[in-house]
A and B are shown apart, each in its own frame.
Chain A
């Protein structure tokens, strides 16, 4: 840059600044901002609008599309369903809503059985995660401060590897000539391999293993926040440790317990990959049914109906969770 130009630009910012101020005060932006503010739109609403827009675009719109497909009829074409609106004549639009898909879900026992199976599988997995996760979280929260972050990191470490790879690793461990069976046979404890892969046992191991961190993290947060002096006070008032645990620790970490259970239960209901890879052929989970309807039967309307029903089944526990969260906020500070 030549000295002359530097000199010129040095004088400029002052003028430019004045000019910008004048434009800001009198230009069309000003009028637009005043106009928008009068209609209740400010920079703040713009910022809060972003998550709403996100939800609208990536949740509500897809949901409506699936809802639309679920009330249409199957056809052998691309896309494989009848359009909702049809031109009957020049000025008349026909709307065909078909509830047959939903009725079908209730008629064929396959669907409600797989729904029940999914819910019970998810419930058992959630309970197992809670039973394993609570002592883990408790141990981490009560360990020396220097250790806590290391232990938490170890809990989260599996996320650094692909989920699918980790499930495949379990195949390697559980299969008939896998790590466990080979070891047991080498030690002479068993003579022939125990069938573990493609059983419910393997499926539960897979689900509990995969979702355990989602249980541990909210529990850890809740337990870590628990004031030690409350347990001391309970002991001081004559309460034995086990009783104090149920009277003080559990009620005060309830928010973490519910959050952890929701975070495990909800995705576990719709779980598809783990039952397919580790579970037996009779492990009829709703996620698997959904997959088969979409890709094997190419019956998009019934698959969509399954998805919608599953959504409503899952919305109920979420609402319970929301309510308990609201109560928590209401009663504790």
Chain B
């Protein structure tokens, strides 16, 4: 799902010698008794698109606002490019933000909105005009300079807001739910545009979003947040394929979780017995868990195969069930299959054949579910 980003090939976060561009150290923010951000330590590297992903109230926006300088951390420090900016007011930080509401100044034209930031610095009028024209061209709004914000569509406002935030060439660009106000088609289109712009300018992005698809498309790395803390940091692939907890597995994409316990514990595989799943199953990776501890097997719906006949071979990872629901989604169908234990397993299959042709699986059909032993992930919390 993630695009091959040049930065991802470098993977500076795997290099212990690499110097983080933005460093958050033990950052905590309390509003009265409420802990909005709880002891977050985070390194972000130059040229990254780092997505903070979490539900509402997870603290992701507060974390972003602390980077922008709108909130003063209760504890902890913030470094940007080697400078401690913890106490710096927002107007002295080399950081710009694109607001969720875009926050365009309603009494200024597009041109003046974009020029506003440059006017605050000692930039000559000629250079202001040149740089505004250049950035408006980059976001393909060059013909809209004279328009007022209320004369623009949502997508156009979003571009102006982006241009206004980028024109000062900030060291760090913060984006608060940048695409939330756009409709689906435009959102997908803009996601790729954002990637192109980031490639062109090489600015480091920190994006706050609650939309996991958005995070998967944009991010070099994702930090999943819950209750003010970062639960897991990793590339989109890491987060999706190797979730570290039930929360992450469940939050990113859809997942089938079955409770069980480890009955065989070897360095390169484990065997998990699960009454919910109906038997014991082979999982092709080692797990560090106490013997007999309760674990959960996470199985992505698209990694389960659906068949009428019992699959060939003598593999362990297969169960029988009855189709309880079928949802046709065009490109794929979603099946809810009821297992012997009463639990339902969600399975998605691409519709490689046109509907109405061939023998397709319907309600109340008895089916076999099978998966590769490398597919399930065992999480212990």
The answer to whether A235 and B90 touch (CB under 8 A), given A252-B106, A333-B150, is yes
Select A232's contact among B103, B121, B164, beta carbons within 8 Å.
B103
Question: Which residues in B have their C-beta under 8 angstroms from that of A240?
Answer: 91
The answer to whether A235 and B150 touch (CB under 8 A), given A229-B101, A230-B103, A248-B105, is no
User: Quick check: is B381 within 8 A (CB to CB) of the other chain?
Assistant: no
Q: Is the CB of A239 within 8 A of B116?
A: yes
* Chain A positions 314-333 with a Cβ under 8 Å from a chain B Cβ: 331-333
The answer to whether A235 and B168 touch (CB under 8 A), given A227-B103, A229-B99, A229-B101, is no
Question: Which residues in A have their C-beta under 8 angstroms from that of B66?
Answer: none
* Chain B positions 44-102 with a Cβ under 8 Å from a chain A Cβ: 68-70, 89-92, 95-97, 99, 101
Taken residue by residue from 96 to 119, chain B's Cβ proximity to chain A (1 for < 8 Å, 0 otherwise) reads as: 110101011111000000001100
Q: Is the CB of B106 within 8 A of A332?
A: yes
Question: Which residues in A have their C-beta under 8 angstroms from that of B107?
Answer: 251-252, 331-332
* Chain B positions 103-149 with a Cβ under 8 Å from a chain A Cβ: 103-107, 116-117, 120-121, 148
Question: Which residues in A have their C-beta under 8 angstroms from that of B103?
Answer: 227, 229-230, 232-233
Question: Which residues in B have their C-beta under 8 angstroms from that of A233?
Answer: 97, 99, 103-105, 164
A2–B42 Cα gap in the complex (Å)? Answer: 86
Q: How many A-B residue pairs have CB under 8 A?
A: 69
> How many residues in A have their beta carbons less than 8 Å from beta carbons of B?
20
Who on chain A is nearest to B174 by CB? A236
Q: Is the CB of B96 within 8 A of A237?
A: yes
Select A227's contact among B70, B101, B148, B168, beta carbons within 8 Å.
B101
A266–B296 Cα gap in the complex (Å)? Answer: 76
Taking the closest CB of chain B, its distance from the CB of A120, in whole angstroms, is: 31
A314–B137 Cα gap in the complex (Å)? Answer: 50
Select B90's contact among A230, A236, A333, beta carbons within 8 Å.
A236
Who on chain A is nearest to B161 by CB? A233
User: Quick check: is A67 within 8 A (CB to CB) of the other chain?
Assistant: no
Using a CB–CB cutoff of 8 Å, the interface residues on chain A facing chain B are 227, 229-230, 232-240, 243, 247-248, 251-252, 331-333
The 6 closest A-B pairs by CB, nearest first: A237-B117, A238-B120, A233-B103, A229-B103, A235-B90, A235-B91
Supply 17 further A-B pairs (C-beta < 8 A) apart from A238-B117, A332-B106, A332-B107: A229-B99, A229-B101, A232-B70, A232-B99, A233-B103, A235-B69, A235-B89, A236-B70, A237-B116, A237-B168, A238-B121, A239-B116, A243-B120, A252-B107, A331-B106, A331-B107, A331-B148
